[in-house]
């Protein structure tokens, strides 16, 4: 009896008051909703510095070569652009490569969202490089801006498509830098045609003038398709 009375007195003496504004406090603990644009912008700082520097290098080569009147400026940009595609594909599996995929899947943004954002950011960067380089080269050497852009874009898109397909395969998961091998192959073929096979180069110029735009549209559709497949399956490879 004494123990029960003592417990009651202690409970009265140390009774905790009802928490004030409890619901408001709990509500404020919930993370603020973030829109798609803001989510994409949050990923920009995670793009590595060498990628930005490489993009600036391509722009510098285009402007510098055009100002100096170097006839092979377009050729140089054409062999460099596929490496931006390789870098883009490499970024899609960076989380897996550094064993960070499980951590990223547990964070506020899903791994799919992160990969989508990085693909979009790097795609925009490549587009900006192309928009700057093509008219500068075309104006300097008296060429068509559209045809110049198409000639540069086709090897870039082919490299992107093949690299994304390989990256999702067992070979790509085993050899993380396979996209650079594809870009290197693109460089080799382009350099060989430019230096050793003038008939092929002339045929390519004629093909671009007639079928270039439809070809780019088809390649863009295939690129978006392969990118979407990569976004959908990236967590399965984590």
| pLDDT single digits (tens) 55-95 | 999 999 999 999 888 889 999 999 999 999 999 888 776 65
- Is residue 50 very low, low, confident or very high in pLDDT (cuts 50, 70, 90)? confident
The CB density around residue 66, as the number of other CB atoms within 10 Å, is: 20
Least confident of 7-21, 163-177, 186-200: 7-21
Cα(151)–Cα(212) distance, rounded to whole angstroms?
A: 8
Query: Do residues 126 and 187 lie in contact, with contact meaning Cβ atoms separated by under 8 Å?
Result: no
Q: How buried is residue 27: exposed, middle or buried, by Cβ count under 10 Å (0-12/13-18/19+)? A: exposed
Cα(87)–Cα(180) distance, rounded to whole angstroms?
A: 8
Cα(35)–Cα(146) distance, rounded to whole angstroms?
A: 35
What confidence score (pLDDT) does residue 20 get?
61
- Which range is most confident: 49-58, 102-111, 171-180? 49-58
What confidence score (pLDDT) does residue 146 get?
93
Question: Does the predicted TM-score (pTM) go above 0.85?
Answer: no
Question: Does 218 score more than 80 pLDDT?
Answer: yes
Least confident of 11-25, 87-101, 114-128, 177-191: 11-25
């Amino acid at each position: 009896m004494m123990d029960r009375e003592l417990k009651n007195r202690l409970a009265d003496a140390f009774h905790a008051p009802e928490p004030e504004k409890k619901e408001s406090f709990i509500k404020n603990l919930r993370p603020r909703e973030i829109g798609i644009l803001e989510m994409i912008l949050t990923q920009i700082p995670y793009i590595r510095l060498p990628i930005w520097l490489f993009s600036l290098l391509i722009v510098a080569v285009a402007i510098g070569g055009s100002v100096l009147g170097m006839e092979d400026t377009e050729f140089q940009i054409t062999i460099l652009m596929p490496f931006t595609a390789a870098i883009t594909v490499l970024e899609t599996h960076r989380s897996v490569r550094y064993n960070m995929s499980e951590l990223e899947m547990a964070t506020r943004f899903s791994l799919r969202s992160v990969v989508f954002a990085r693909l979009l950011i790097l795609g925009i960067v490549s587009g900006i490089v192309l928009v700057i380089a093509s008219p500068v080269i075309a104006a300097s050497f008296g060429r068509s801006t559209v045809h110049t852009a198409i000639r540069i874009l086709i090897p870039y898109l082919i490299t992107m498509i093949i690299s994304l397909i390989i990256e999702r395969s067992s070979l790509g998961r085993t050899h993380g830098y396979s996209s650079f091998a594809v870009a290197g192959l693109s460089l080799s073929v382009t350099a060989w045609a430019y230096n050793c096979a003038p008939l092929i180069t002339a045929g390519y110029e004629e093909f671009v003038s007639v079928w270039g735009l439809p070809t780019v549209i088809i390649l863009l559709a295939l690129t978006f398709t392969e990118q979407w497949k990569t976004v959908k399956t990236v967590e399965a490879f984590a």
